[in-house]
Structure 1
Amino acid sequence: MERLQSAAPEEAAYFYSSSAEEGIARGCIGHLRGDFGRSGEEFWVTWFPRNSPFETPTFQEELGKAFQVIGDQGVLKSRRHMLRFCSQHPEARIGGAWSTDVYGFRMETQDHRYYLRCFPFAGDYNFYLYCYARPERVTEQQRQASAVQKKKRNSNVSGNGGSGMFGELQPLASEETPYFYSAIATQSKELSYIGHLRGDFGTDDDQFWMSWSDHAGERRTLAFRQELAALVQHLQWQGLLLNLNEMRAYCRRHPEARIPGAWHSDVCGFCLQTTHYRYYIRCFPHLGDYSFYIYCYRKNHLLGRSVQQNQNGAVNLVKEDVQ
Structure 2
Amino acid sequence: MKQNVKVNTPIHIRPASHEEAGLFYSQMKETEDAALGTVGHVRMDFGSSGKGFYHTWWPHNDDQFNTKEFKGELQEVVDALRADGPLKDLASMRSYCYRNGGGITEDGRCFGYIVETEHYRYCLRCTPSPGDYQGYLYCYDLRQQQMAQGKPVGRVTFADGSRMDYTDAQEYLRCIQEELPQHSVTGFRYETLTDDPVVRKQVDDILFDLYGEENPQSLADYENGSNRDMKMGGM
Q: TM-score range by the shorter chain?
A: 0.5 to 0.7
**Unaligned stretches of 5+ in structure 2?**
1-9, 154-166, 178-235
Q: Any idea what the Cα deviations from partners look like across 1:179-209, whole Å, max 9, x if unmatched?
A: xxxxxxxxxxxxxxxxxxxxxxxxxxxxxxx
Does the CA-based 8 Å contact 2:109-2:127 persist in structure 1? yes
Does the CA-based 8 Å contact 1:114-1:129 persist in structure 2? yes
Q: Any idea what the Cα deviations from partners look like across 1:264-283, whole Å, max 9, x if unmatched?
A: xxxxxxxxxxxxxxxxxxxx
Within a 5 Å distance, the mapping from 1:1-323 to structure 2 comes to: 1-18=10-27, 19-50=29-60, 51-90=62-101, 92-96=102-106, 99-134=107-142, 136-140=143-147, 144=153, 146-149=168-171
Q: Any idea what the Cα deviations from partners look like across 1:103-142, whole Å, max 9, x if unmatched?
A: 00001100000000000111210000000011x5432377
- Post-superposition shift, 1:73? 2.2
- Post-superposition shift, 1:11? 0.9
Q: Any idea what the Cα deviations from partners look like across 1:163-191, whole Å, max 9, x if unmatched?
A: xxxxxxxxxxxxxxxxxxxxxxxxxxxxx
Does the CA-based 8 Å contact 1:36-1:42 persist in structure 2? yes
Q: In 2, distance between residues paired with 1:147 and 1:106?
A: 28
Does the CA-based 8 Å contact 1:82-1:120 persist in structure 2? yes
Q: Any idea what the Cα deviations from partners look like across 1:16-67, whole Å, max 9, x if unmatched?
A: 0002111100111000001111121221111111124321100100100111
Count, aligned residues: 150
Q: Provide TM-score, normalisation by structure 2.
A: 0.58
Does the CA-based 8 Å contact 1:112-1:133 persist in structure 2? yes
- Post-superposition shift, 1:151? 7.4
- Partner residue of 2:183? none
Q: Provide TM-score, normalisation by structure 1.
A: 0.43
Runs of 4+ in 1 over 6 A off after TM superposition: none
- Partner residue of 1:243? none
**Unaligned stretches of 5+ in structure 1?**
156-323
Q: Any idea what the Cα deviations from partners look like across 1:87-109, whole Å, max 9, x if unmatched?
A: 1022x00034xx41210000110
- Post-superposition shift, 1:149? 5.0
In 2 relative to 1, CA 138–7 (structure 1 residues): closer, same or farther, beyond 3 Å?
A: same
Letter in 2 for 1:64: Q
Q: Equivalent residue of 1:88, what SS?
A: helix
Q: In 2, distance between residues paired with 1:114 and 1:57?
A: 16
Q: Equivalent residue of 1:22, what SS?
A: helix
Q: In 1, distance between residues paired with 2:30 and 2:80?
A: 29
Does the CA-based 8 Å contact 2:81-2:88 persist in structure 1? no
User: Which of these two proteins has the greater Rg computed from alpha carbons?
Assistant: 1
Q: In 1, distance between residues paired with 2:172 and 2:12?
A: 41
Q: In 1, distance between residues paired with 2:134 and 2:169?
A: 42
Q: In 1, distance between residues paired with 2:81 and 2:169?
A: 38
Q: In 2, distance between residues paired with 1:93 and 1:147?
A: 38
Does the CA-based 8 Å contact 1:3-1:69 persist in structure 2? no
In 2 relative to 1, CA 77–151 (structure 1 residues): closer, same or farther, beyond 3 Å?
A: closer
Does the CA-based 8 Å contact 1:101-1:120 persist in structure 2? yes
Q: Equivalent residue of 1:117, what SS?
A: strand
Q: Specify which structure has the higher proportion of helix.
A: 2
Q: CA RMSD in A?
A: 2.4
